[in-house]
Amino acid sequence: MGRSLRIGSVKGVPIRVHWSFPLLVVLVILPTGAKTTTRSLAEGLIWIAALFVCIVIHELSHSFVARRRGFSVRDIVLLPIGGVSEITGLPGAPADELAIAIAGPLANVALALLLALVGYAAGAVMWPPAILAGAVVSRLMWANLLLAGFNLLPAIPMDGGRVLRALLSRRRDDLRATVLAVQIGRFIGLAMVLAGVRYDLWLSFIGLFVFVGAGAERQAAAVRAAVGGLKVSDVMVQDPTTLEVSFPLSVVAPFLQASPGRVLPVVDRGRYVGLIAADRVTGPPGAFLVADATDRDAPALSPDDPLYPIAVECLIACRRRAAAVLEDGRVVGVLYGPHLEAALHRGTTSLGTSRIGR
């Protein structure tokens, strides 16, 4: 997700700050204009920091529940409008999606209860609800309740929308449940954009994020439906020609030209080493053998890997042309990018969607 800077990690989950994040600091400070003092600036920054600690706890709750259910968590990215957990392989089964989605808002409710206890013990005034004025413990408590409530709006891709989709998928297939959740999400997103123009542009920003994000969810669901159940072995080219590392480069060009994606696997006495592409066949200056022009970092898959999301992320997201398919270190096939795209395209057009996202 765009450019971001790693600021640390919690239990192996990297936390990153998106480049647009400093915008928030500027936007919070600008409205006070001429009256800005060092003290009000410091208070503003501490307030933002406290709020974002709560947001990080919210995202970590999603991440830890996801990890316990077998998903891998890439990182947490902090944006001016909140945090995003990058978890691969979602949504998974409805029960998984429900548990992962609800974990974030529940963390904010728990934080609010904790802050209420602290506030009560310290004798702070906790009522009436206020976020912009009053004791910090009270402001933070109400902010956490607001975060929980706001995230539970049934607008996918927000947490409440994922809860809704998970509940809808109990009685429908994934695509139908998503389409319905997306329609509700877009309606709420549009209402937020319009309400934001009237009350607070911040709301418009988030509404726009919801509206665009809902469309992306629909496309992802179309891809899942298109290739759901398909494995790498269903689309790969089986038993491809392999080239030995010791072959002279001068003799392999015709084999590469004849292969479907002009990429072939390279082996060393039967064991897989890497891939070689027709346009790299000259290799570095002085290259003489296949070994010299072999890409040893080329991606490799297993025949039982699902096409979505593993093969899609391996080839399309990383802009690779082919991946070797291995079983016990031996080449059993090659998955070519165009074949994978064709499989996705066949599926998505038959579902009435013209293109998939990249």
| Positions in the binding site for Zn ion (CB under 5 A) | 104, 151, 159
What's the angle, vertex CA 212, arms to CA 207 and CA 217, rounded to 5?
120
Cα distance between residue 115 and residue 118, in whole Å: 5
- The minimum distance between CB 107 and Zn ion, in angstroms, equals 9
Give the residue with the Cβ less far from Zn ion, 83 or 265.
Answer: 83
Give the residue with the Cβ less far from Zn ion, 138 or 151.
Answer: 151
Give the N- to C-terminal CA distance of the chain in Å, as an integer: 13
Give the residue with the Cβ less far from Zn ion, 104 or 213.
Answer: 104
Cα distance between residue 142 and residue 76, in whole Å: 24
- The minimum distance between CB 44 and Zn ion, in angstroms, equals 24
For β-strands 237-238 and 330-336, DSSP reports them as antiparallel
- The minimum distance between CB 113 and Zn ion, in angstroms, equals 18
Give the residue with the Cβ less far from Zn ion, 152 or 225.
Answer: 152
CB-based closest residue to Zn ion: 104
Q: Is 176 exposed, middle or buried (0-12, 13-18, 19+ CB in 10 A)?
A: middle
- The minimum distance between CB 174 and Zn ion, in angstroms, equals 20
The pair of structure tokens assigned to 233 is: 């072995």
Going by C-alpha positions, the residue among 181, 123, 130, 124 that lies closest to residue 156 is 181
Give the residue with the Cβ less far from Zn ion, 106 or 135.
Answer: 106
Give the residue with the Cβ less far from Zn ion, 75 or 159.
Answer: 159
- The minimum distance between CB 84 and Zn ion, in angstroms, equals 8
Going by C-alpha positions, the residue among 228, 215, 246 that lies closest to residue 312 is 228
- The minimum distance between CB 63 and Zn ion, in angstroms, equals 10
Going by C-alpha positions, the residue among 248, 218, 194, 227 that lies closest to residue 305 is 227
